[in-house]
A and B are shown apart, each in its own frame.
Chain A
Amino acid sequence: MREAAVPLVLFAALAAAPFAGFGEGYMLTLLARAMILGMAAVSLALLVGGAGLVSLGHAATLGVGAYAVVVLDANGLTDATAVVPVAVAAAALFALATGAVSLRTSGVHFIMITLAFGQMAFFTASSLAAYGGDDGYTLYARTGLAGTRILEDRLAFHYACLGLLGLAYLFCRAALAARFGRVLRAARENALRVRAVGFDPYPYRLLACVIAGAIGGLSGVLLANAAEFVAPSYLSWQRSGELLFMVILGGLGSLHGAILGALAYVLLEEWLSHLTEHWRMIFGPLLVLSVLFFRGGLAGLLAPRRR
């Protein structure tokens, strides 16, 4: 039960936030952004923490999801019942294709090839002249839901993000504990051992890429809706680096850590950028220090001490 305490408190706090002093539009916008990036970070944590696959191109799956919204919007399709399945399927397909190639390599080469695929997606997005090219694309309105415009309401959008984040988190958590995740975790520790008991890790890792891609795509849909704007910068390698940082900041050992990491990242960025225009001067060293000295991450800090 104690292991479930931190995520429970976290989700309860996010649910109560609008009525606990965070109900202003500005705060809700910030929280929505944190939850959306948190969802992407959870999916990346499945790859990095669960399967041991360090992807430096995960932002591309967000980008595919976000651009799916754009393409459908430009063609007059704006209802979630169409947008979400198409966007998620597109991102999953992207992850399947790039994962199939990337997984032929390992270690540093894997980091580099995911980076390369991320850059390919980035340049593809920049080349989409019909959808704004480098300048990005402003959505006419948020995605509708079954003919209604309910997501225009900030509070409804807050809970939509929270609900989907919860679902993504629960699914990844279950998958990691189940047979599928056991093979993934074992292959992370020692791939040879896994092969020697009769598993080929490849299909398991590929499916992990696809799941992470699908969830990344979903968060891309939400991100597009939160900003009502999509630009190639969503797919930049810096964004992938930020996502990785959220995962590490939260702690590799747990999925809810990724959400904590995203929250901390978004709030810290907001706070520092109010403090000074040169907030990256503070943020960069913070990142370095957290890597050097803060190995357990936020989740490790909050976890009950063992032994």
Chain B
Amino acid sequence: MTARAPLLRIEGLSKRFGGLTVTDDVWLDVLPGEIHAVIGPNGAGKTTLINEVSGALAPDAGRVLFDGLDITRLSMPRRVRAGLARTFQVTCVLPGFSALENVALAAQARDGSSFRFLRPAAGEARLNAAAREALEAVGLAGRAAVPAGALAHGEKRQLELAIALATRPRLLLLDEPLAGAGPEETERLIALLDRLRADYAILLVEHDMRAVFALADRISVLVYGRVVATGAPPEIRANPEVRAAYLGEDEA
């Protein structure tokens, strides 16, 4: 691996809820074009970490650098506009909007002012074209007109990805994109993520170990809010501390 400047740097991030430390001095980075997976047992603080990086939650200490810029104090919308898009563990779409309009809204965020009052947004060709392109990329083009609330679970996961892509990000924060997907959907989503790696750096939180080891360039293991190991998949597989943490979890 050549020495590239990381796109995302997490420096000493910490967060406490009452007496509970959920993020404990986390250091982590994501290189351009890399899939960096974060794994860990339930309650390890993976989603909290994503929330802190995406701006949904303010950390108590530490910094988040994106492309060399300190974004720790930026709001979530500002981070998205800087090129940092996320998906949610629990599906977060607009159920009453069509799939196309869900994505078109994201495209709208990157297409000039939205303080426009007279022209119907549904008829804006440029937004619809961008939305169609993103739907195409995730393989959902055929379902563009369906209300998002009526999509199957796996399709909603795909739609989330399309929405994230339409914000024209440079880094994707994916919070368990495979959660709740059936075996077939899982295959499709893994193939899709594999295609996305060409264009985006990805910070991936995932429970499905097969997917993680198939996709990740590097893996970090989070236990009780601490990073206990970071390395290439084979190193992680061989790491005794990781095995202990996971075996302990499996036996329970």
Asked if the two chains touch in their complex, CB atoms less than 8 Å apart, one says: yes
Question: Within the assembled complex, what's the spacing in Å between the Cα atoms of A181 and B81?
Answer: 20
- Known contacts A177-B120, A199-B114; is-contact A182 B101 (Cβ 8 Å): yes
CB pair B75 A200 closer than 8 Å: yes
Question: Within the assembled complex, what's the spacing in Å between the Cα atoms of A199 and B93?
Answer: 15
Enumerate chain A residues within 8 angstroms of B106, measured Cβ to Cβ: 197-198
- Known contacts A194-B105, A197-B106; is-contact A171 B77 (Cβ 8 Å): no
- Does A135 have its Cβ within 8 Å of any Cβ on chain B? no
Question: Within the assembled complex, what's the spacing in Å between the Cα atoms of A2 and B85?
Answer: 40
B57-100 vs A, Cβ < 8 Å mask (1 yes, 0 no): 00000000000000000011100110001101000111111000
Question: Which residues from 177 to 207 on chain A have a C-beta closer than 8 Å to any C-beta of chain B?
Answer: 177-183, 185-186, 189-190, 192-200, 204, 207
Enumerate chain A residues within 8 angstroms of B118, measured Cβ to Cβ: 174-175, 178
- Within the complex, what minimum Cβ distance (angstroms) separates B232 from chain A? 31
Candidate in A189, A192, A193 with the most chain B CB atoms within 10 angstroms? A193
Nearest to A192 among chain B residues (CB) is: B92
Question: Within the assembled complex, what's the spacing in Å between the Cα atoms of A185 and B121?
Answer: 12
Tell me the total A-B contact number using a CB cutoff of 8 A. Answer: 95
Question: Within the assembled complex, what's the spacing in Å between the Cα atoms of A175 and B114?
Answer: 11
- Does B122 have its Cβ within 8 Å of any Cβ on chain A? yes
Enumerate chain B residues within 8 angstroms of A186, measured Cβ to Cβ: 94, 97, 105
CB pair A189 B97 closer than 8 Å: yes
- Known contacts A186-B105, A192-B92, A193-B92; is-contact A198 B121 (Cβ 8 Å): no
Enumerate chain A residues within 8 angstroms of B54, measured Cβ to Cβ: 196
Question: Within the assembled complex, what's the spacing in Å between the Cα atoms of A36 and B120?
Answer: 27
- Within the complex, what minimum Cβ distance (angstroms) separates B200 from chain A? 16
- Does B210 have its Cβ within 8 Å of any Cβ on chain A? no
Question: Within the assembled complex, what's the spacing in Å between the Cα atoms of A180 and B121?
Answer: 8
- Does B109 have its Cβ within 8 Å of any Cβ on chain A? yes
Question: Within the assembled complex, what's the spacing in Å between the Cα atoms of A198 and B108?
Answer: 9
Nearest to A193 among chain B residues (CB) is: B92
- Known contacts A183-B114, A207-B115; is-contact A197 B105 (Cβ 8 Å): yes
Enumerate chain A residues within 8 angstroms of B108, measured Cβ to Cβ: 179, 182-183
- Within the complex, what minimum Cβ distance (angstroms) separates B203 from chain A? 15
Enumerate chain A residues within 8 angstroms of B115, measured Cβ to Cβ: 179-180, 204, 207
Question: Which residues from 130 to 181 on chain A have a C-beta closer than 8 Å to any C-beta of chain B?
Answer: 171, 174-175, 177-181
CB pair B120 A198 closer than 8 Å: no
Enumerate chain A residues within 8 angstroms of B166, measured Cβ to Cβ: 197
CB pair B95 A198 closer than 8 Å: no
- Known contacts A178-B116, A179-B108, A204-B114; is-contact A198 B77 (Cβ 8 Å): yes
Question: Within the assembled complex, what's the spacing in Å between the Cα atoms of A199 and B107?
Answer: 11
- Within the complex, what minimum Cβ distance (angstroms) separates B47 from chain A? 14
Question: Within the assembled complex, what's the spacing in Å between the Cα atoms of A198 and B113?
Answer: 12
Question: Within the assembled complex, what's the spacing in Å between the Cα atoms of A186 and B109?
Answer: 12
Enumerate chain A residues within 8 angstroms of B101, measured Cβ to Cβ: 182
Identify B117's interface contact among A178, A196, A199, A200, CB under 8 A.
A178
5 A-B interface contacts by CB (under 8 A): A174-B118, A179-B108, A182-B121, A185-B96, A190-B93
4 closest A-B pairs by beta carbon, nearest first, are A198-B80, A198-B109, A197-B106, A179-B114
